[in-house]
Amino acid sequence: MRAAIYHGPHAIALGERPDPTIQLPTDAVVRVVLACVCGSDLWYYRGESPHELGPIGHEFIGVVEEVGSDVRGLVRGDLVIAPFIFSDGTCAHCRAGWMPSCVAGGSFGNHGVDGGQGEAVRVPFAETTLVAVPGSGHSDETLRSLLTLSDVACTGHHAALSANVQPGNTVAVVGDGAVGLSAVLAAARLGAERVIALSRNPARQALARAFGATDVVPERGEEAVARVLELTGGVGVDAAMECVGTGQSMTTAFAIARPGSIVGAVGAPHGVHVPIERVIFSNIGLRGGVAPARRYIPELMADVLEGRMNPGLVLDFETDLEGVASAYEAMDQRRAVKSLIRIGTV
Residue 73: CB minimum distance to Zn ion, A: 17
Cβ-based nearer residue to Zn ion, 17 or 294: 294
Q: Say how far apart CA 126 and CA 86 lie, in whole Å.
A: 8
Q: Tell which one of 28, 32, 80, 87 touches Zn ion (CB under 5 A).
A: 87
> Per rule CB under 5 A, is residue 106 in the interface with Zn ion?
no
The whole-angstrom separation of Cα 132 and Cα 100 is 20
- Looking at the Cβ atoms of 102 and 286, the one nearer to Zn ion is 102
The residue (of 87 and 148) whose beta carbon lies closer to Zn ion is 87
Taking the complex as a whole, the smallest distance from the CB of residue 265 to Zn ion amounts, in Å, to 23
Site membership for Zn ion, residue 98 (CB under 5 A): no
Q: What is the DSSP-derived secondary structure letter of residue 247?
A: H
One-letter amino acid for residue 216 of the chain = V
Burial 145-171 (b: 16+ CB within 10 A, else e): bbbbbbbbbbbbbbbbbbbbbeeebbb
- Tell me, by CB under 5 A, how many residues bind Zn ion: 5
| List 94, 133, 195, 321, residue binding Zn ion (CB under 5 A) | 94
* Torsion-angle region of 245 (φ positive above 0: left; ψ -120 to 50: alpha; else: beta): left
Please choose, out of 11-19, 97-105, 136-144, 283-291, the segment that lies near Zn ion by the rule CB under 5 A: 97-105
| CA distances, 110 to each of 56, 64, 194, 302 (Å) | 7, 21, 39, 30
Closer to Zn ion by Cβ: residue 124 or 311: 124
Least separation in angstroms between CB 58 and Zn ion: 17
DSSP three-state, residue 118: strand
User: Which CB, 87 or 249, lies closer to Zn ion?
Assistant: 87
Helix, coil or strand: residue 131? strand
Q: How many CB atoms lie within 10 A of CB 127?
A: 18
Tell me how far, at minimum, the Cβ of 92 lies from Zn ion, in Å.
8
Shortest Å distance, C-beta 268 to Zn ion? 22
Smallest distance, Å, CB 116 to Zn ion? 20
Among 91, 268, 305, 346, binds Zn ion (CB under 5 A): 91
Residue closer to Zn ion, measured from CB, 186 or 297: 297
Q: Of the listed pieces 10-18, 92-100, 224-232, 315-323, which binds Zn ion according to CB under 5 A?
A: 92-100
One of 4, 36, 85, 102 touching Zn ion (CB under 5 A): 102
Which of the residues 11 through 40 are near Zn ion (CB under 5 A)? Answer: none
What residues contact residue 289 under an 8 Å CB cut-off, 6+ apart?
A: 100, 158, 162, 265, 266
Q: Which of 194, 164, 187, 139 is nearest to 312 (CA)?
A: 139
Q: Is position 88 an interface residue for Zn ion (rule: CB under 5 A)?
A: yes
C-alpha to C-alpha distance for 122 and 24, rounded to whole angstroms? 10
Cα radius of gyration (the chain): 20
* Sole window of 93-101, 198-206, 238-246, 319-327 interacting with Zn ion (rule: CB under 5 A): 93-101
Interface residues with Zn ion (CB under 5 A)?
Answer: 87-88, 91, 94, 102
